[in-house]
Amino acid sequence: MGVNGYRDYFQVLGLQRGADADAIKRAFRKLARQYHPDVNPNDKGAESKFKEISEAYEVLSDPDKRRRYEQFGQYWNQAGGGGAGPGGFDVDFGRYGNFDDFVNDLLGRFGGPGGAAGASGSGGAPGGFGFSSGFPGGFGGGFPGAGAQAAGRASAPNLDAEATISLSFADAFRGCERTLAVNEERVQVRIPAGVKNGSRLRLKGKGNLQPGTGRRGDLYLNLQLQEHPVWRLDGDQLRAELPLSIDELALGGEVQVATPDGVATVQVPPGMSLGRSLRLKGKGWPIKAGRGDLLLTPTLRVPERFSEEERQLLEQLRAARSVDPRQDWIKAAQLS
C-alpha cells in the first residue's frame, strides 16, 4: 500500500499502465484463484490480498472509475462518483457457496461479461448438450454474467445468457426436441419446423441466476444449420441441382427427381437450358403459410465412360449437327 492508503491498482494486478480490459480480466481471474480464501483457509494474508485485487479490479474494470483513477491518482474517489475507494472494498465470503458464485457475482457487479454461455453438442439424441461457464480460465459450472447490485448503487445486471445449437438440415426442416443441461437443470426445448440459419429462440427464465436474490434472466438459443450435400436454403425457397443427361436436356420428357418428401416425377421441356430452373410449388421449406417452392436447376451429367453404342450415336450427332454452338459467342467476344 502506498502513502495515505493509496494503492497502485495496476501493480496490484501485476500489469503495466495502459493494459486493456481483456488483460485486466485475465490478471484478476489468475490472482483470484490463487488467493481465494477457499484455496487458502485460515490465511488472513491471502484473504487481505484477495480483497486488494478485487478492489483493484473493481476500479480498473469500470471505465469511469479508471479514467478518474488515472487522472487524479490517490484522490480519484473524491473526484466525483461513488463506489469503493481505498480501503472501502469489503466481501462477505459466507454468502457464496463456492468460488464460481463469487466470481460470477463480482464480474457482473463490476461490469464483467454478461450473458455469454457456450453450448456444445450435435444433432444427436436429446441430452447431448452441455453448457460451460464461458470463462477462458474454465472455472466451470453455470453461466457467466450473473451479478449483484453494487454497494450503494442500484444497478440491473444483465442476467440473460446465449448458447448456440447446431441442427441437421432434416431436424431444422421437420422440427425436433432437445434436452439441455442449464445450471444443473434439464430443460426440454421444442424447435419448430422450418427454422433457418441464425434463428433465435428465447427460453424465458432459463438464463443466469443472480446469487442471493433468486433473480434469473432468459436464455437465448442461436440456431446454426449444418450444410446439406443436396439442398440449399434461399430465403423461403429450397434449391438443388438436378443432374440431367444429354438426351434429357435435348429431348425433354418425364424424369424422377428428389424432394424433401420423397421422389416425384416432373416434366422436363425439350431444349432445357442450363440457366433455367424447374419450380415445384409447395414442395420447399416450411413457412407460416405452408411450404415454399422447390427450385431445381439442371446440370449436365456426363458419364466417365460411354458405351460403344452411345459413342457411335454421339459421333453421328456430331456429324449431323447443323449449328455451331460458339458462332455467336465468338463474334460477341471480339474486341476490335
User: What is the torsional sign of CA 171, 172, 175, 181?
Assistant: positive
* CATH 2.60.260.20, the chain: domain bounds: 113-227, 232-333
The CATH fold assigned to 1-91 is: Helix Hairpins (1.10.287)
| Predicted confidence (pLDDT) at residue 287 exceeds the cutoff of 60 | yes
Chain segment 84-123, per-residue pLDDT in tens: 444 444 555 455 455 555 555 555 554 444 333 434 333 3
Q: Where are the alpha helices (DSSP H) in 160-233?
A: 169-174
Single pTM value for the model: 0.50
- The C-alpha cell at 9 is 491498482
CA distance 107 to 29: 10
* CATH 1.10.287.110, the chain: domain bounds: 1-91
The CATH number assigned to the domain with range 113-227 reads 2.60.260.20
CA distance 76 to 307: 88
Report the pLDDT averaged over residues 28-53.
85
Residue 286 pLDDT level (bands cut at 50, 70, 90): very high
pLDDT for the residue numbered 58: 87
With CA atoms as reference, report the closest residue to 269 among 260, 261, 279.
Answer: 279
CA distance 59 to 21: 12
In terms of DSSP bridges, do strands 219-225 and 232-234 run parallel, antiparallel, or are they unpaired?
A: unpaired
* Largest CA-CA distance found in the chain, in angstroms, rounded: 103
The CATH number assigned to the domain with range 232-333 reads 2.60.260.20
Count of residues for the chain?
A: 336
**40 DSSP 8-state letter:** S
Report the pLDDT averaged over residues 135-143.
34
Mean pLDDT of the chain: 77
Chain segment 54-93, per-residue pLDDT in tens: 888 888 888 888 887 777 666 666 555 444 444 444 555 4
Report the pLDDT averaged over residues 159-164.
87
pLDDT for the residue numbered 85: 40
Lowest mean pLDDT among 12-21, 98-107, 282-291: 98-107
